[in-house]
Structure 1
Amino acid sequence: MEFKTSDHVTLHYTDTQTDLPALVCLPGIGASGQLFKRMVELLLDKYRVLVLDPRNQGLSQRTYRGQRMSRHALDLEEFLASLNLNNVIAVGNSMGASTLFAYASLFGKGRLAAMVDLDQPPKMINDDSWNFGYQDLTWDNFPISLKYHDTVHANYVRVNPEIATPVKLERQEHPYDEEANYNFLCDHAFQDWRDVVMDLTIPLLVLAGEKSPYFNCEFAQAMTYINDKIESHVISECGHILQAERPEETTKAILSFLKKNGL
């Protein structure tokens, strides 16, 4: 399925098209929405599950436009508005979670009822105020070190071939251009969403991968001190792509969180 943004970029999405409450999934930077495949299967009897490919990723259009988090947040708002979706549960992996923070910075709760953050701290640059950022990224080596960010595997657990094979084929046919999207990576890494997280008025679940190659999983617990509406949990023996590496455990944690919050 396709949706066109206000700046005329065509985004691809999937939709289980049921009358159940809506749950929208957003992949990380450069990643495919197909990484949510197993999670969609586990959730579809309880939620209408939609997966949106961000601009320049998956099957969405490649463009020079909108290489900033604010535009990605607006894409989400326009997407939800186009389908008249409200009280949405939004799940974001990595940059997908940052998109949710950007959304909250622009729209408050907007059309959302709850957020789920899959392995993304609110701040990626390490400094004296926050030491749970991305690897060894600091103000001294930002942004140049980001050119070498993709030197380790994001996953710790081997992803099931039923997920991995279609993702690989999709990437071959619709490659992600890291060089063309470098400015977006820099914008993503530059942000500090702690003030947004502090003012969130809707529940937020933060799930961290115990073996994430990018972030110290203790960031999840640290986020609970920012806002008492935040819950956290660490998925053991898991890397950065929780929804594909440990879909059953990740989904179980999400469902428990949603049940607790009446969603």
Structure 2
Amino acid sequence: MTLVSLANGQQLAVEQQGDVQDQPLIFINGFGSYKEIWTGQLDMLAQLSYHVIRYDFRGQGGSAGDYAQSLDDLGDDLAGLIEKLQLDQPILVGHSMGCSVIWNLRQRYPSLAVKAIVLVDQPPKMINDSEWPYGFVGVNENNWQEKYATKPAVRETLHGFVDRIFRPFSIAQTNAPFSREKGLPLLKSHFRADWRQTACQETSPTLFISAKQSPYYRPGYGAWVAERNAVASQVLIDDCGHDIMAEVPDRFNQTLRHFLLKTRGRREKLGGKS
């Protein structure tokens, strides 16, 4: 692990794997998570020759500083990390709130080239209304300010993490326990955001990977975006909860691998480095 200093003064704990000349792929965590949650993807990506980047959000895990107060903070950090590491057209893979970090980046840094995007179990809008049933279960315009601050009384996974991911994740969690209270301003920013227009206007290939038994979301939002944007598609994975990549990593990896191979030649077509 390396502590990388960004131009905005933030210092992020970053782990890199693979040749820096290979296609870069950045994993972006969800709320309260750690970079170790992506452990199950590393061997597969090493076989495919990707330059893999994992990092902890500011103030969390091994990173320095205070907790982020908004998605803008995390969007700035992601843009700064791409600039600092001189990553050419990275693939972005986000989980849960990490998807909102990606959408924030895409909206606020439109000139930053991205090769492809993978969004894991996260709709582009958290608050349900009469025309949008895909938000966080039980959350609407009338109760969201109460709900976001209350920890959901549900189990996030159906079967738990597999052992090879649970162990490093637990060590990271023990070494740097997450403070939900400190994270509430960020979570409020996440709940208030509406990224539907951003998702529908995305020009890079986009894959939604959704859990059929997600405790948080109905899985139709990916299809909703795909109906409005030809670059988007959805894959549903059965017999797992919210943390798909850590609960059923082999099936998640098969889905991710298929998408990556489909988009592999696009970097050269966009004029990037081969």
The reply to whether residue 221 of structure 1 matches residue 223 of structure 2 is: yes
Q: Which residue of 1 aligns with 2:260?
A: 258
CA distance in 1, matches of 2:155, 2:5: 33
Amino acid at match of 2:62: L
Q: Which residue of 2 aligns with 1:210?
A: 212
Q: Which residue of 1 aligns with 2:15?
A: 14
Q: Which residue of 2 aligns with 1:111?
A: 113
Instruction: Write out the 4+ residue segments of structure 1 that deviate beyond 3 Å after TM superposition.
Output: none
Q: Does the Cα contact within 8 Å between 1:204 and 1:230 map onto a contact in 2? A: yes
1:144 CA displacement: 1.3
Q: Does the Cα contact within 8 Å between 2:8 and 2:80 map onto a contact in 1? A: no
The reply to whether residue 61 of structure 1 matches residue 57 of structure 2 is: no
**2:148 alignment partner, SS class:** helix
1:61 CA displacement: 2.1
Q: How does 1:48-197 map to 2 (within 5 A)?
A: 48-64=51-67, 66-108=68-110, 110-197=112-199
Q: Which residue of 2 aligns with 1:2?
A: 3
Amino acid at match of 1:57: Q
Identity between Structure 1 and Structure 2 (%): 25
CA distance in 1, matches of 2:131, 2:151: 23
**1:148 alignment partner, SS class:** coil
1:151 CA displacement: 2.2
Amino acid at match of 1:8: G
Q: Does the Cα contact within 8 Å between 1:73 and 1:102 map onto a contact in 2? A: yes
CA distance in 2, matches of 1:112, 1:51: 17
1:22-75 deviations in Å (ceiling 9; x for gaps): 1110110100110100111211122111112112322112405x4111121111
CA distance in 2, matches of 1:153, 1:10: 32
CA distance in 2, matches of 1:48, 1:169: 24
CA distance in 2, matches of 1:59, 1:73: 19
Q: Does the Cα contact within 8 Å between 2:99 and 2:120 map onto a contact in 1? A: yes
1:7 CA displacement: 3.6
Q: Does the Cα contact within 8 Å between 2:127 and 2:140 map onto a contact in 1? A: yes
CA distance in 2, matches of 1:34, 1:67: 23
CA distance in 2, matches of 1:111, 1:67: 26
Amino acid at match of 1:41: D
**1:125 alignment partner, SS class:** coil
Amino acid at match of 2:43: E
1:216-236 deviations in Å (ceiling 9; x for gaps): 122222221231110110011
CA distance in 1, matches of 2:176, 2:240: 27
Q: Does the Cα contact within 8 Å between 1:80 and 1:111 map onto a contact in 2? A: no
CA distance in 2, matches of 1:95, 1:121: 9
1:75-111 deviations in Å (ceiling 9; x for gaps): 1111011111011111000011111111110112613
Q: Does the Cα contact within 8 Å between 2:200 and 2:225 map onto a contact in 1? A: no
Q: Does the Cα contact within 8 Å between 1:33 and 1:53 map onto a contact in 2? A: yes
The normalised TM-score by structure 1 is 0.95
Structure 2 gap segments, 5+ residues each = 266-274
Q: Does the Cα contact within 8 Å between 1:109 and 1:200 map onto a contact in 2? A: no
Amino acid at match of 1:49: V
Tell which deviates more after alignment, 92-101 or 15-24: 15-24
Q: Does the Cα contact within 8 Å between 1:23 and 1:89 map onto a contact in 2? A: yes
The reply to whether residue 33 of structure 1 matches residue 22 of structure 2 is: no
The size of the alignment, in residue pairs, is 262
CA distance in 2, matches of 1:179, 1:120: 22
